[in-house]
Amino acid sequence: MKPKSIAVVGAAETTQMGKIPDVSVIGLHADAALNAMKDAGLKPSDIDGVATAGISPVELAHYMGITPTYADGTGVGGCSFMLHVRHAAAAINEGLCKTVLITHGESGKSRVGAGRFGGSPASLSGQFEAPYGPVGPPSMFTVPVMRYLKARNYTVEDLATVSVIQREWAALNPRASFKDPISIDDVLNSPMIAWPFRMLMCCLVTDGGGAIILTSADRAKDFPQKPVYILGTGESVETPMVSQMEDFTSSKAFRVSGKKAFDEAGISHADVDHLMIYDAFAHLPLYGLEDLGFCKPGEAAGFVRDRNTAIGGKLPVNTNGGGLSYMHSGMYGMYAMQESIRQMRGVAPAQIKDAKISVSHGVGGMFAASGTIIFGNEA
């Protein structure tokens, strides 16, 4: 993708966030979509491309009254929306469509109109992982971490520090689910979920959604909001089985996706003012800092401990409070990008002064997939 050829002209989350027992999954998609269309000053008839995950793009298009010439149903977990942005940018540049709506909605907590969890017992994961008792991400996504801690000489306190600093960010965000300060001891004394993970090292479970509208940069200046440009994009996938990831101390999908996005944007790490790393669990920002190249292997925990990612630090990370404290409906990637876009528009609750470049890095499944989008606010 040519940097700055595509811009975000609409972005919004659902009207409510957290516990929304009176709205179904498709309703959350629609609420976010309508908010984003209002933000962009568009009607459904102005949209000619749709992309979503969790539900089919057919459901989305029909429910919203959109007749698209481009539909993307890429579903690789929580970073699907990063991939949707990347694919939409290519599609717009290729002339397949002009204006793409990307939506997310998930009734993660209330489970109104939500599907069931779990795969087939005949799938590879069903045959070679499920029999050993994993109960979803808390006892699966965490499996590589003991090896990671040993290889990096990190401690359980290092994981807890990630949670503590993100809670500090959440305190600045009126929409965050959890805002009360926590200490490392609080984290280490919270209920044990799956050693070495305590409850406060695990993400929330909430309801919510978000939507993004993209168009060409040429058209973007005619929209009401200040355009946020796409500078670079990356994606990759590795394995559907966490037990089979090549290196337990580093995500291959993270490395490939991140490098692609940085190469495309033609920026260096020093150019980045703001960073979002999908944090379903407290280890993910550490992996992300290393695999994206912000820290050398073994230096991420110290980097966080020294408050570089905290309020006032040189690289603010997860400034909405993250999946650990802001919200996590199941596929959090959309909310990471919403915060990047707010920061680039200059309207975030914890606004980073003069921020010009923001990186949103997502994970899908359990180190299964990755997507990276680099946003900028200068044409």
Partner 1 sequence: MDRILPQPTPETRHFWEGCKVNELRLQRCTDCQHSYFPPRPFCPKCGSRDVAVYTASGKGFLYSYVINYRPRPDLGKEPHSIAVVELNEGPRMMTNIVGCPQTPEALQLDMPVEVTFESFSDEISLPFFQPAKA
Residues in contact with partner 1, total (CB under 8 A)? Answer: 36
Phi, psi (deg, nearest 5) at residue 289? -60, -40
143 binds partner 1 (CB under 8 A): yes
Q: Which of 211, 184, 206, 190 is nearest to 280 (CA)?
A: 206
Q: CA torsion 332→257→304→296, rounded to 10°?
A: 160
Of the candidate residues 155, 185, 244, 296, the single one contacting partner 1 (CB under 8 A): 244
Alpha carbons within 13 angstroms on the beta-carbon side of residue 41 total: 8
Q: SS3 for 4-46, per residue?
A: CCEEEEEEEECCCCECCCCCCHHHHHHHHHHHHHHHHCCCHHH
237 binds partner 1 (CB under 8 A): no
Q: Which of 195, 177, 282, 226 is nearest to 9 (CA)?
A: 226
CB of 214 to partner 1, least distance (A): 36
241 binds partner 1 (CB under 8 A): yes
Of the candidate residues 121, 181, 298, 346, the single one contacting partner 1 (CB under 8 A): 121
130 binds partner 1 (CB under 8 A): yes
Phi, psi (deg, nearest 5) at residue 233? -140, 150
Of the candidate residues 150, 221, 269, 314, the single one contacting partner 1 (CB under 8 A): 150
Q: Which is nearer to partner 1, 145 or 336 (CB)?
A: 145
CB of 280 to partner 1, least distance (A): 14
3-state secondary structure of 216: strand
365 binds partner 1 (CB under 8 A): no
371 binds partner 1 (CB under 8 A): no
Tell me the C-alpha to C-alpha distance, in Å, between residue 259 and each of 87, 245, 265, 308, 363.
17, 19, 10, 22, 15
- Contact set for partner 1, span 165-224 (CB under 8 A): 191-197
Of the candidate residues 126, 224, 266, 298, the single one contacting partner 1 (CB under 8 A): 126
DSSP bridge pairs for 373: 233, 360
CB of 201 to partner 1, least distance (A): 12
269 binds partner 1 (CB under 8 A): no
Site residues, partner 1 (CB under 8 A) = 120-122, 124, 126-135, 138-140, 142-148, 150, 191-197, 241, 243-244, 248
